[in-house]
Every structure is written in structure tokens, then in C-alpha cells.
Amino acid sequence: MLELGCGTGRVLIPLAQAGYYCIGIDHDLSMLHFLKAQVGKLKPRPWFFAADITRFNLSTQFSLIILPCNTYSTLRKKERLACLRCVHKHLKQGGIFAVSIPNPGTLADLPARSASQLEDEFLHPQTGNPVQVSSSWQRTRDNFQLTWIYDHLFPDGNVERFTAQSIQQVLPAKIYLDEIHGSGLEVTGVYGDFNRSPYEENSAYLISVAKL
């Protein structure tokens, strides 16, 4: 199987531990460096490469290609269609493509902005100091921007701050499903969560499963 946007291996590593032969691609070298340190002696060992999910070219085809972690809806239309062309090229006949994004209907119904909220706290793996994670979001008609702030707290009172953002396109679900169908894939399932609940307007996710 192939994972697009494998990042630090949050999905790829458990799949490899379950015995699947996995390959991942991501364009972020820092994430791949972290993933390399986590792989260790896993068997079968997951392989991963630095590549753009909108223009990759591997020398094999796959029975399963997944695009999890809300990545698809961060792409513009031209990029999404390019990604789907690559997926079509790399799927075996009868192969499955599964993609997960935040439900655009739910995003569209949210207020225009939120206050910053403390979301999590954990110990930094290198220093042992606490890291506080807060998040906020703001929505326009076409976009949903989510901002995470990571505050690394030092004993002397200093704070090291890291900020990350994700911008989701807010488009009708039909547009995403039509794009997948238009790429030559047959949409065989649409779900609202990872328990395969039927997709509804207020579902947490839009999960599409398609077959070549």
C-alpha cells in the first residue's frame, strides 16, 4: 500500500506493525527525518521517499493508496486533479483509493472565528519540559484556517513558541466526489467517520473509498 503525505508516520507505522508492506511519500524532509528515527527494526520495514503528492512517479503499482490526515482539502483544484492523476497511474486494476477530509458542511456551519483554547499538554521528548498546545480557527466563505501554537516551557520562565497552520478549502462535498469520479475511479463508499457511519451533513469527516 502507498500512503500519500505520510508525515511522521502516525498512520504508516501502525500499518507496518500490522504486517502490511507500506510505502509513504511526503515533501517535508524534517518529518521524514523524524519518521526515519521511529522506524527502527520494524518488519516488514516501511519505505518512504521525499516527493510531492501532486507529481510523484514510482516504479510500481499498489492495491491500496490512502490519503488520510485531512490533506486533500488543503490542495487547490489544479493540485487535487494532478494528485488524482498520479493515484490513477499508480493503482492496480481493482485497487482501492481512500481519502479523508474534514466534512466541509460542518466547517461551513461554524462561526467565523474562535478564541484560542488549550488543547493538550505533553512533555518534550528531548528536554522533558512541558509543552502546551493551544488552537484557534477562523472561517471565511471559501477557507477554514486552523492555527496551532506549541509553547515549550523552560524552568527559567522562557517560552519557545512554534506555530503551525492548516488552510482547508470549504467546498461542497459533491465537488470532491465528482473530482474523484472524473479521474476514472468509481466511488464505492462515502462515510462520515472511521466506523463507516453513513455520511451526513453534520458528520465529522467526509471519507471517500473509490475503486479503479
d(CA 169, CA 41): 39
Q: Give me the count of residues in the chain.
A: 212
How do residues 64-93 score in pLDDT, each as one tens digit?
999 998 899 999 999 999 999 999 999 999
Burial 74-104 (b: 16+ CB within 10 A, else e): bbeeeebebbbebbbebbeeebbbbbbbbbb
**Mean pLDDT along residues 29-53:** 88
What is the model's pTM? 0.88
**Mean pLDDT along residues 192-208:** 94
Band the pLDDT of 137: cuts 50, 70, 90.
very high
The answer on pLDDT for 21 being more than 80 is: yes
**Mean pLDDT along residues 169-188:** 95
* pLDDT value at residue 25: 96
Let me know: does 192 contact 204? Beta carbons within 8 Å. Answer: yes
Band the pLDDT of 127: cuts 50, 70, 90.
very high
**Mean pLDDT along residues 6-32:** 92
Give start and end residues of each alpha helix (H) in the chain.
Answer: 12-17, 29-39, 77-90, 104-108, 173-182
d(CA 8, CA 35): 5
**Mean pLDDT along residues 139-149:** 92
* pLDDT value at residue 141: 86
d(CA 207, CA 187): 11
Percent of the chain with pLDDT over 70: 100
* pLDDT value at residue 39: 86
Which amino acid is present at 124?
H
The chain-wide mean pLDDT, for the chain, equals 94
* pLDDT value at residue 69: 86
